[in-house]
Amino acid sequence: MEDTEIELEVTRLMQELQTITKNIEILIAPYEKIMEEATNKIEEISLPYKKNTEIIETRIKELILLRAKSLKTGSGNVTYKKGAVRRSWDLDALDGVCDRDVDVKNRIWNYRKETIGEPSVTIKVDTEGTSITNI
């Protein structure tokens, strides 16, 4: 294909893509408004409970970090993951040194970088079969 033919075909395809994109935007516009209203309502309903749940979750995490083990409860599971050492290497620096001095290859651990991964806690609340309860 010649450059002119490619330009014409790409221009035609871009016009077709533009038409389809505009049609999609027109078709989904009413649903976007519904989604925005639903999201706002969810945030409004959740707002009074957020601070309390954050306080509770923080305390659960503190306790599980002290315990250093996961826990299954009748209300859900709290998963503990211990921290781990993560290593990264500055490969460009190592390659340059090794290219210049073969003896240094045996001492590449001097360039090792380690970061400690912090322990983490995941909370999964079981909400199946529950109904609204006064809190």
pLDDT of residue 29: 92
Nearby residues of 70 by Cβ (< 8 Å), 6 or more positions away = 64, 77, 78, 79, 80
Q: Which residue has the tokens 């925005």?
A: 36
**Cα–Cα distance, 28 to 119 (Å, whole number):** 43
Q: How far is CA 109 from CA 90, 91, 100, 105, 113, in A?
A: 11, 12, 17, 9, 9
CB 80 within 8 A of CB 70: yes
Q: Is the pTM of this model over 0.75?
A: no
77-116 tens-digit pLDDT: 999 998 887 777 788 888 888 888 888 888 776 776 778 8
